[in-house]
Amino acid sequence: MSFLENPKQYTGQELETIFFRPMLSGPSAQELGVRILYNMPVPTTVQLWDGRRDILQKYTAAGWSGGETAHRYQKTIQLSRVKAELGFSAADYFAQVYELIAARADVNMEDLTGTELEQAETTLFKQAVAEGIRATMWMGDSAGEAGLNTFDGFLKALTAFAASEEEEDIHTFSYTSSELAAPEDAVELFDRLWNEADSRLQDLKAEGQLAFFATSDICHLYEKYLDSKGADASYIDTVNGRRTLAYHGIPVVDVRLGAYLADSTYPKSFCLLTDRRNLVLAVNTADFPGTEIRMWYNPDLMENRQRATFMAGCDILDETMLSYAWQQA
């Protein structure tokens, strides 16, 4: 056997339970580090309530003195139709799928079932789709001619916020490469992001949802700063590495965009402090006619092909609830 020729198609409930929901929940969703809305009605609308802060009153007499009703704000996340396609040489595809199977200890290579092959093929395609969603979520630009142009990402919105100098409620600033050269500069950057953030954002620290989203260069400098501490724990972490980073209890998340930023017009270095729930990714596979995952073999070209169609989009809910810094070109 040298080719995989059995076609596979996921639609309806299988599309959700086998492919997308495992990818957008659990550990996979935690790696993205943002709020994920899956299969919400299209257009996807998020309700933001702004209640009165002081509602306690003296209990003196009967009657209603609650004042005005709570204010409600709506944020509509625009979803775009997305198509993901991959093509492999039949021989290369066979080798890739079998490599995934051979790495598992619980598989009998002499008696492979269709389920084992299907799971391996699905895993291969799922990884590619997840990476495409993650990269576009940050760097997407629907006005671009090619590459990550299916929907607008967070960086496009942040760039627009940074250009809105007249908006006093938006907390952004820039820095030069010389201002971020030494390990201690990463700590000073975190401190400035915190100090210049809105007080309402600072108050959310107790809820455990704040995070610094930083490029790899900032994370590397911060690790160097931690390595310089004269403690046994620092030595152990220097040798073994650190699975997670945090500053004063706030996680530092590496956005891992170096390969994409190198060829883009976005800043090559940036750091964002916000509440994870303020960054929203919406994916829908229920309200788009023709949504499916299809994998098939093309005998004319001796090629295995994979295709996914769905809807996706992302947005920042409240631009005042963030603190953003970027490196000048």
pLDDT tens for the chain, residues 1 to 329: 456 777 778 887 888 888 888 888 766 667 778 888 888 888 888 877 665 667 777 777 777 776 666 666 778 888 999 998 888 887 777 777 767 666 565 555 554 455 666 777 778 788 888 899 999 999 999 988 888 889 999 999 999 998 876 567 789 999 999 999 999 999 999 999 999 999 989 999 999 999 999 999 999 999 999 988 877 777 777 777 788 899 999 999 999 998 999 888 999 999 999 999 999 999 988 877 778 888 888 888 888 888 999 999 999 998 889 999 999 87
CB 2 within 8 A of CB 90: yes
Cis peptide before 43 (omega within 30 of 0): yes
CB 280 within 8 A of CB 34: yes
Between strands 322-327 and 270-275, the pairing is antiparallel
- Amino acid identity, residue 245? L
Burial code (b: 16+ CB inside 10 Å, e: under 16) for 20-48 equals: bbebbeeebbeebebbbbbbbebebebee
Cβ within 8 Å of residue 97, ≥6 positions away? 4, 117, 120, 121, 124
Distances in whole angstroms, Cα of residue 277 to Cα of each of 25, 141, 184, 192? 15, 22, 29, 22
Distances in whole angstroms, Cα of residue 71 to Cα of each of 67, 68, 74, 320? 12, 8, 10, 17
Distances in whole angstroms, Cα of residue 67 to Cα of each of 16, 121, 322? 45, 59, 30
Q: What is the pLDDT of residue 256?
A: 92
How far is residue 191 CA from its own chain's centroid? Answer: 24
Closest alpha carbon to 257 in 153, 145, 123, 143: 153
Radius of gyration (Cα) for the chain, nearest Å?
A: 24
CB 299 within 8 A of CB 274: no
Between strands 322-327 and 171-175, the pairing is parallel
* CA gap 24, 19 in Å, rounded: 9
CB 140 within 8 A of CB 78: no
The structure's pTM equals: 0.84
